[in-house]
Every structure is written in structure tokens, then in C-alpha cells.
Structure 1
Amino acid sequence: MSSTTAGTPFPAETMRYIRAQFAQLEHDAHGTARLFFENSGGSLRLRRATERAQEVSLCPESTSRPNEAAQRLARVQHDGEADLLAFFGGEPSGALLHTATASQAMFTVVRTITDNVPGTNIVTTAIEHPSSYDACARYAERTGRELRVAEPDTSTGGIDPAALAALVDTGTSLVSVIATSNITGAITDIPAVVAAVRAKNPAVHIVTDAVQYAPHGVIDAAGWGIDAVNIAPYKMFGDRGNAFTYLSPRLAALDHDRLAGAASTTWNIGSAAPAMYAGFTTIMDYLATIGGAAPEVGRREAITAGLRAIHHHEQALLHTLLEGTTLRPGLRALPGVRVHFADQGIRARDLIVPLTFDNLSCADAVRAYGEHGIVVYERVATSHYSARILHALGLEGIVRVSPLHCHTVEEAEHFLAVTEKIARHAAG
């Protein structure tokens, strides 16, 4: 019997329910058995979320029409918007922006802030996703502002709030900081960042990329005191092709692109897509179910209970991968394998393990895992998505291992056995 000393795995009955909800969990679309540990490139999909979105997408009605079918669609969208505010922990007077991608939303938000908020500089970090870093760089150049970049702590792979705040002054109009690095797995202490930044400049606008963080932890936009936070449902068990961003009341009120007849805080241009809201609500239903909160609690409380249960289970998986179990040694104990940024402890980490092999390139390691039926991915400096981040961390590449809460301790043990075999074979 395997065991773990950190985190709290889901009970067996809950785990059976969870695994039954996901499509292609144990086999790919062609029926080939596999272990999908590449969820930071997307995520395994909830069957019902996709099915529900498809059901709604078949409806031809417009939500603005008075007939009953149209009004049902309007209620679907209304419920989805309410669920988004509950998920984000946003203020009711804030706004929601629906875009095709989270990257598109980040460019829109950064441009709007720089168009409206005077300043001499923009502050961001070297480990931002290109959508936020490049948006900051682009609009800093267009508006003649200095781009100030906080370097990461190379021992943790994350951002020190004090180091970021040290770059802020009275001329800073915007701070952009990622909630979780999709390469190192380091979680940023957003409340600490906000406190440190606003101590230097209380008026600064702070935006957060939470695409990687969203499926693993609780977002609290109002409690954190941030002005914008974006998510992408394809990273949290849903479909590609849509993303959502929460905007604080003061950001929502800034002048922005909108139809002339729309309310001043309306950010969506054109007709809504009720199917996308339906899919999101289904994801929230799932979170509420696995969280096991009492039926009488509010929607926000039920959603956060599910996310906290996910976090506890994923902490157990992360501990298993790093430290092993009574049956298997962990990655940190395997000869020829190096786990990066593991010394910070697991509580400040998402379920991402960046590793390298002493005697094997990242690309060859990914191929070796594939030969054993395990899907992982390499993030290498030849990719524009990864180069700046890796170089800031002093690396040329890593093998990124990213399971999900639907995986088991036993599957983590299987991964450890395969890794030991690959390392031993590479050493000759």
C-alpha cells in the first residue's frame, strides 16, 4: 500500500467520481493507453462541460429576443456571468470581458490602462507569459515609458514581492505579475505583491495572469485588491476558444473600445456566446460537487471548497513525485535526475515539476517518456514562449511534468518507476 505524508488525497469514492468525469483520461482519442502529464499545455476535459456547451451552441436564438427559447439562453448567460464573478471573487460593480483567448484580453487590458493612466514606467517580471510581458513592452514603447523588469529568484523560480516593489515609484502606472509560472510552478504571493506595491504607489493599476493558477487555487480578485485577472477555460477542464477576464470597477470605468450605445462599463463588443457561459457553469457545478460543501452554502463558498480540495489532493501528488512513497523513491532521490526549484517546499508550488536529466536532452527525455506511454513536454530556449523565462532562470530547457487532480498517487508512482528506468538507461 502506497502512502504520502503531505496533502490530503481525495477519498476513494470521490476519486472514482472524478475520474469518470474526464474524457480520454487513460486512453487517447485513438484508443492508445497513456498517462497524460501535460496539463499545463491545456488540461484533460470534463465530458459534461463540452457536452453542455454543444447543447447550447445548437440553439439558433439571440439572447436579446423575447421568445421563451431566447430567454432561456439569456438565463444561461446570466448564470454564467454570476458564476464568473463568484469564481473570481470579484465585486458586483466590476466588469467581465469575454475574448477568444486570454492573451488577447491581456493586450486589451494593458492598452486600456496605458491609454488612460499617466505615468513614466511600467513594471513587470521576467517570468511573465509572452501575452503579458509583450503587451507591457509594446505599450511601454508606444507611450514612451520605461519598462522595468523584476528578475526571478533562481532558487525558487518565483518572484519576490519586495524585489518587484523595489521597481515601483510614483511614476508607475501599471504592474503586471503572473500568479503561477507555467514553467517553474512557483506561486506568486499576490496579496504580498499588492501590499508592497501599493505602499510605494497606492494608485497603481495591478493586473494578474492567472491562466495557470486558476485550476489549482482560489482567486480572490477583490480581496487581493487587483484590477484585472484573466483565465482560460481550456486550462481548467473546459474547451478552447474562449477566455474570461475580471475588471475592477475603476478599471472597468476607464475609456475603452465599446459600441456607442453600450453602458460605460460594458467591455464585450457584439453578441455573446451563451454556450461558453454554459460550459463554464458546468465546470463550476463540478467544483461544487467535489468540494463537498453543505448544500446551504453560497455559490462562491461551494466553488472555493472544490478548489481547496483540489489543492490538497495535488499537494499529495506533488509530494509523491518529489519525495516518493513507501514503494518508490522520489525524483529528488533518483541518480541522473535534477528537479529544479524544489527546495522552496511544496506549499508555494503548483503541480508542476520542471526536471532535467544529466545524460539526456529534454527532447530525448520527452520521447523516452512517450515510448513508455507518458505524455510530458519540454520547454526549451528555442521557443519564443519560453526563451526569456528560461534565460532569466539560467536554463536552456526543462522537461515539464504537469499532472492534474484526477490523477492518483499510484499513477505518480508509475511515473517515478518510468523516470528511474529512463535515467538508468541514459547513464548506460
Structure 2
Amino acid sequence: MRYVRGQFAHLEHDARGTSRLFFENSGGSLRLRAASERALEISLFPEAPSRPGKVARDLARIEQQGESDLLAFFGGAPDGALLPTATASQAMFVLVRTITENVPGTNIVTTALEHPSSYDACEQYARRTGQELRTAAPNRTTGGIDPSAVAELVDAETSLVSVIATSNITGAITDIPALVEAVREKNPGVHVIVDAVQYAPHGVLDAQGWGVDGVNIAPYKMFGDRGNAFTYLSPRLAELGHDRLTKASSRTWSVGSSAPAVFAGFSAIMDYLVTVGGASPATDRRDGIVAGMHAVQRHEQALLHTLLNGTERQAGLRRLPGVHIHFADTAATSPRDLIVPLTFDGLSCADAVRAYEDNGVTVYERVATSHYSERILRSLGLEGVVRVSPLHCHTPEEAEHFLRVTEMIAK
């Protein structure tokens, strides 16, 4: 654990030097020093990787390694494609537009738990292409999406199914393999895309195994920098008509000059995961990454258990008077990310967040007055929650400290 904690910047103190516990990683995770430092190092090079010089060739190799690492992380097919963008939200609009403009159909299926970038893209392109938008309601007990709820909306004329892998408000994980199987029983050729931005830092992606056509991630949610995102496209999606230079390959999705620095930063994240997983340098890259993610999952599930159930010294959230857990109380029966949505008796979400800050804890309120949260929360019958989202670099002792602060606030 000492190694893990030593890799993250501002883990115990903010940029002003103030001591604090950062439990707001769903809004942007703590940063790996190596990822930011490596990206900065490479960004200072003026050379372009497409040039013939020695340094340019070095940059090209860095970019190639980054692309290889991305395919390994996604669990993608070798003949799949990668779409680099400034944000994951931008990528969702690209995917939805590409599919709806190229794939015949009369309806699009999505869910009420989608991030606005996914939901709004489906809504807008349904309108532009004259298709019906069908929205699956969430399960109000688990806070997630049941595969059957999506599948029952799919028919032979569905062109696209867009689903979120993990809700960044409830923490519920969607059973993507079961969902894909269910919707393909109704429509074997339907295109399925997945928003994996919240899921990626906490679970193993397996685009090929899941049988999906597109998956997006955002490095700033998984220990890296803001300002870049990556999306995997299946071979059949990659071949659909899309914006590209006329002379470029039909499978090329990157338009314009590449940025080797963002690939260098991503490879640094993968190096970290391989180390955390205890893999030897000779281990297959995908296997090493998966081992690292499994180590992350084990520790985070132990932290979730501590938050919910407490320790010998401190009561957990389940036993704190005046504190209400939403959805995370089903952790024993449904897969969950390390997100705990809370509300308090007699205390608004905003006031609770301020009380946490006054006690050196950073969390965030998701409220129905925000366009990012309104549709999601109200589909679940809520007006707001305090979102608690630690990371695998946190310790049981820090979880216990959070519980003490929570108990004090609730009083």
C-alpha cells in the first residue's frame, strides 16, 4: 500500500497544502504523478511523429505503444479502431451520429441513467433521423439497469442500444454481457455502445468478450489528465462512414495531427496497473493490466465493506442514526462500484457537503437542479444525494475517519 499511495499527487493535502481526505474521485480522480509527468515530458517535444527524424521516430513508437496499451486495456480486437478525442462526451456524439446515419432503423434504445452526453446524443440524433427514442427505467432498489428492462424495448427495427456500464451517481454496475445477450436475442445485428467512463478505473473492460461495438473512457477519471479521451470501435463500427481525410484509410478515425503525450500518459497508467497486479515484465500486457485491475477491485470492495459495516471501533453507515444509504445497501446482492450515495435527516445535500469540507473531507452533492443529474435522480425518485467516492489508494483507516466525520455531521 505504501507504493500505491506514493504514486498519487495531492493524496493527503490539496494544492494549497491543506490536509484533506479526497472522496470525490467520481468527479475526477486523484492523479498518478508518473502519468502527468510523462505526458508533460513528451508534450515539450516540438517534433511530429510523422516526420523521418530520430526523435520523431521515438515519438511514433510512443504513440504505437499507447495504441497497443489502449487495445489491451479495452480488451479490443486487433482490427478494431481507436478514436482519440478531447472528451469522452464528444466521442459519444460521434458514435451515436455515425450509427444513426449509417444503420437503418426506426428506434434507438437507451436508459434513464445515462450521462447527458450519451442520452442527449441519442435524443438529438433520434430527432434528426426520424427515429423513436425508447428509454429503459432503472431498478429503484439497486439503482442500476436490469438487462431485461432494456431488452424489452428492443425490436427488429432498433438501430442502436446505448448503455452506461456504471452509474456515477448510484454506483450500480450494469451486467453488460447479460444485456448484450438479451438485446441480441431480439435483434442479432443491433449496434451496442457503452459509456465506461465511470467503470474503467474500477473494473476490467472486455469489449470483445462483451460483444459491444463501442466503449469510451476518460483518463481524468482513471488517474490521468483532463483534456483527452479514447474510444474503442469494433471492426464493423470502424467501417461505417465517418469524418476522415479523403486519402486516409477507411478505418482511420483520428483527424489531424496526433498528440504523442496523451498516449505516453496512458501507457504510464498501464505501467502502474501492471506493477500493482504483481506481473513480471515478461507477462502479456493484457494479462498484466487485468491482474492490476483485479487488485484494485479487491481493495475497493474491502473499502466499500468498511464504509457500509464499519469496524470494531466505529459504526458503519448502515448503523449511523440520521444517515440513509441509497442503493449501496444492496452491495451483497448486486455488483457495485466504490460509490456510496447518502442523504441525511434534517440536512440538505449542499449543507452536508459543506459540513464535510469544514471537517477536511471532500465529497460532492448530485442534485436534481443540475442538468447533469436531474433526469437520473428523478428516475430513481430522488431530488439529491451526497456522493461519496474513494479510490483504491485510500486505506481502511481513512474509511474509518470518514465514518467518524459522518457520525458527527449526522448529530
TM bin, normalised by shorter chain, reads over 0.9
Q: Which residue of 2 aligns with 1:70?
A: 56
Amino acid at match of 1:226: V
**Among residues 143, 151, 161, which one is paired with 2:129 in the alignment?**
143
Question: 1:5-84, aligned counterparts within 5 Å?
Answer: 15-84=1-70
**Among residues 342, 359, 362, which one is paired with 1:355 in the alignment?**
342
Q: How far apart are residue 326 of structure 1 and its match? A: 1.2
**Among residues 392, 400, 412, which one is paired with 2:387 in the alignment?**
400
CA distance in 2, matches of 1:53, 1:409: 32
Question: 1:261-276, aligned counterparts within 5 Å?
Answer: 261-276=247-262
1:35·1:373 contact (CA, 8 Å) conserved in 2? yes
Q: How far apart are residue 325 of structure 1 and its match? A: 1.1
Q: Which residue of 2 aligns with 1:330?
A: 316
Q: Is 1:193 aligned with 2:182?
A: no
Q: Is 1:246 aligned with 2:208?
A: no
**Among residues 368, 372, 386, which one is paired with 1:381 in the alignment?**
368
Q: How far apart are residue 294 of structure 1 and its match? A: 3.5
CA distance in 1, matches of 2:282, 2:62: 22
1:168·1:201 contact (CA, 8 Å) conserved in 2? yes
2:100·2:125 contact (CA, 8 Å) conserved in 1? yes
Q: Is 1:344 aligned with 2:330?
A: yes
CA distance in 1, matches of 2:329, 2:7: 34
Q: Is 1:369 aligned with 2:348?
A: no
Q: Is 1:232 aligned with 2:218?
A: yes
Q: Which residue of 2 aligns with 1:259?
A: 245
2:170·2:328 contact (CA, 8 Å) conserved in 1? no
2:275·2:292 contact (CA, 8 Å) conserved in 1? yes
Q: How far apart are residue 175 of structure 1 and its match? A: 0.1
SS in 1 for 2:283: coil
Q: How far apart are residue 293 of structure 1 and its match? A: 2.1
List structure 1 runs of 4+ shifted beyond 3 angstroms: none
Amino acid at match of 1:238: G
1:155·1:343 contact (CA, 8 Å) conserved in 2? no
Q: Is 1:216 aligned with 2:195?
A: no
Q: Which residue of 2 aligns with 1:183?
A: 169
Amino acid at match of 1:370: E
1:91·1:249 contact (CA, 8 Å) conserved in 2? yes
Amino acid at match of 1:392: S
Q: Is 1:409 aligned with 2:396?
A: yes
1:311-332 deviation line (CA, Å, top 9, x unaligned): 0000000000011111111101
| Identity value in percent | 74
**Among residues 288, 296, 302, which one is paired with 1:302 in the alignment?**
288
2:328·2:339 contact (CA, 8 Å) conserved in 1? no
Q: Aligned residue pairs: how many?
A: 410
Q: Is 1:115 aligned with 2:89?
A: no
Q: Mean Cα displacement is larger for which, 28-37 or 345-354?
A: 345-354
CA distance in 1, matches of 2:381, 2:287: 41
1:338-373 deviation line (CA, Å, top 9, x unaligned): 000133225610000000001100000000000000
Q: How far apart are residue 296 of structure 1 and its match? A: 2.7
Gaps of 5+ in 1: 1-14
Gaps of 5+ in 2: none
CA distance in 1, matches of 2:2, 2:312: 23
CA distance in 1, matches of 2:367, 2:119: 18
Amino acid at match of 2:160: L
SS in 1 for 2:330: coil
CA distance in 2, matches of 1:340, 1:230: 27
CA distance in 2, matches of 1:296, 1:192: 34
Q: TM-score of the superposition, structure 2-length normalised?
A: 0.99
Amino acid at match of 1:289: T
Amino acid at match of 2:56: A
Q: Which residue of 1 aligns with 2:82?
A: 96
**Among residues 106, 115, 123, which one is paired with 1:129 in the alignment?**
115
1:174-230 deviation line (CA, Å, top 9, x unaligned): 000000000000000000000000000000000000000000000000000000000
Q: Which residue of 2 aligns with 1:3?
A: none
2:216·2:232 contact (CA, 8 Å) conserved in 1? yes
Q: How far apart are residue 163 of structure 1 and its match? A: 1.0
Q: Which residue of 1 aligns with 2:143?
A: 157
1:250-290 deviation line (CA, Å, top 9, x unaligned): 00000111000100010000010000000000000000000
CA distance in 2, matches of 1:364, 1:305: 40
SS in 1 for 2:324: strand
Amino acid at match of 2:88: A
Q: Mean Cα displacement is larger for which, 184-193 or 339-348?
A: 339-348
CA distance in 1, matches of 2:263, 2:281: 23
CA distance in 1, matches of 2:229, 2:328: 31
